[in-house]
Amino acid sequence: MNQTFRRTGSTRHRSEPRIVEEIREICRPAAEKIARHDGEIRLIGQYDADGISATAIAHRALERQGKNFSYEILKQLYEEDVERIAEEDEDLLVFVDIGSGQSDLLKEHILQETDKQVIVSDHHDPALDEEESGNLENLIHLNPHHLGYDGGEAISAAGMTYLLAEEMDEENRDLVHMALIGATGDVQKQEGEFLGLNQDLESLAVESGAVERRKGLDLYGRTTKPLQKSLMYNTDPYLKDVSNDESGAIELVKSAGVDIRKDGEFRTLADLTEEEEQKLIRNMIKRGFDVERLLNRIYTLENGYEIDEFSTIINACGRLGSPRKGVKILLEQDLELAEKISRKYGRRISSSLRYVEDHKEDEDVIYEEEIGVIDGKSEVDEDFIGTVTTITMSNGFFDAPVVMGVADAEKDKVKVSSRADKEAVEDGLNLGEIIDEICGELDGEGGGHNVAAGAKIPQVNKEEFIQKLNSMVSEQTA
Ligand SMILES: [Mn+2]
């Protein structure tokens, strides 16, 4: 989700005619370059759900062409990585979901210094624009920004790489669901709708049967929580005798003629057949509930997982330090491994949340001024501080309109994650702008949206960062 942190500024939704064809066209020379190449290839991907999906797509496409390649997945592409890669043997480098933001470094250390060929298939803000990229003979830089699209919304790197794979061989059309898994991971699906060019990929996926799309109850925990919990947690619209009432929620399910358990285990909403879900919906309508508001498009993959849950599992592989397992799950349909990762990820989130509970009396760690602060120090992994911040914001642990989580990161930096409540945002608070401004003053990198923003800053600036955020939130919510 690094992607979302770069999307400062406009959130324009591009709904003009979609021209995915334009992207296919820019992919063609890259596909030809790969086809002609008979030396070794190095594939380099990013470690989130989008990057892992893009890596899996490229992996399968290269494999199908009988190419000799190896791959690595990085959290970030630092200058030292670029320097290292410049020294390695492979003479064709393919970067996916990484590389656009560092294309100036690629130019400096690889494109001008070596005779390696480079293909970048990415959607992050590019350091080199279309013209600068075009001037470099050994670079093919595929990026939707070069065509005037906002890569933050219009298409993910998995989508870009899918279109490249499609240009390499039509056979690769069976990888289209991975493009949507990547887009979902990068929050390019909102309230059930894929954004921008992703809609074209969605049509392809639905037509080919790779993804099933239908309307369903879009409740919290649809795939992860017992059905009655999903129902009782729903308070908007308020469901009389069901919201905040577990036995009432169970009664609603039973009176719909739907089993609450299977093999002794509570079922999730996603465990219900379509027919059972319809029964439940009809029963809710009969009770006079405003069900229409709860219905959204639900996307189910051929493997039976809903796309959000599966995307979360792929993302979790990276967070847990095993991004290659994500590639394996995608390429080999290893669902046993997927379940294992899912459970492990759940345990890691619980233990990170326990840190907050265990330290709530410790004023150096958990404290509240204008904002609620969770200092995870080295105890909460930087990859989990965002989730902890989100959950702590939504469960009302603090009274403050903004919650900030911070955790030690590599290279003497700290990761900052912040969330605002809905009301404050409606009153005009914009965390993305605030974080962006403080980063400018305190040597950080970051950004985001009005409700959520993140950054990496030098460890030494941590206290000052917290104080600035405190006073800016206080000003904006005064
Ligand atoms: Mn991405």
Residue-level pLDDT at 1: 37
Please give the Cα distance from 2 to 319 (Å, whole number): 12
CA distances from 467 to 124, 393, 406, 473 (A): 30, 19, 13, 10
**196 or 221, greater pLDDT:** 196
**116 or 396, greater pLDDT:** 116
pLDDT digits (tens, 9 = 90+) for 18-75: 568 899 999 999 999 999 999 999 999 999 999 999 999 999 999 999 999 999 999 9
Residue-level pLDDT at 149: 92
34 CA from centroid of ligand 1 (Å): 22
In this prediction, residues 292-310 reach a mean pLDDT of 91
123 CA from centroid of ligand 1 (Å): 6
Residue 7 in this model has a pLDDT that exceeds 70:
no
Residue 238 in this model has a pLDDT that exceeds 90:
no
406 CA from centroid of ligand 1 (Å): 23
54 CA from centroid of ligand 1 (Å): 9
367 DSSP β-pair partners: 373
Residue-level pLDDT at 233: 84
Residue 113 in this model has a pLDDT that exceeds 90:
yes
52 CA from centroid of ligand 1 (Å): 9
437 CA from centroid of ligand 1 (Å): 24
Domains of the chain by start residue, with CATH: 2-210 (3.90.1640.30), 216-301 (no CATH), 362-477 (3.10.310.40)
Weakest mean pLDDT among 145-154, 218-227, 434-443: 218-227
Q: In percent, how much of the chain has pLDDT > 90?
A: 77
357 CA from centroid of ligand 1 (Å): 33
42 CA from centroid of ligand 1 (Å): 19
390 CA from centroid of ligand 1 (Å): 20
142 CA from centroid of ligand 1 (Å): 13
Residue-level pLDDT at 18: 54
124 CA from centroid of ligand 1 (Å): 7
Which structure tokens are listed for 398?
Answer: 């603090």
425 CA from centroid of ligand 1 (Å): 26
In this prediction, residues 219-245 reach a mean pLDDT of 86
User: Is 313 exposed, middle or buried (CB count within 10 Å of its CB: 0-12, 13-18, 19+)?
Assistant: buried
112 CA from centroid of ligand 1 (Å): 26
185 CA from centroid of ligand 1 (Å): 8
Ordered alpha helix ranges (H), 37-129 = 49-64, 79-87, 103-106
What pTM did the predictor assign? 0.85
323 CA from centroid of ligand 1 (Å): 14
Please give the Cα distance from 469 to 478 (Å, whole number): 14
Residue-level pLDDT at 422: 83
pLDDT digits (tens, 9 = 90+) for 416-474: 999 998 888 888 898 989 999 999 999 998 877 788 899 999 999 999 999 999 999 98
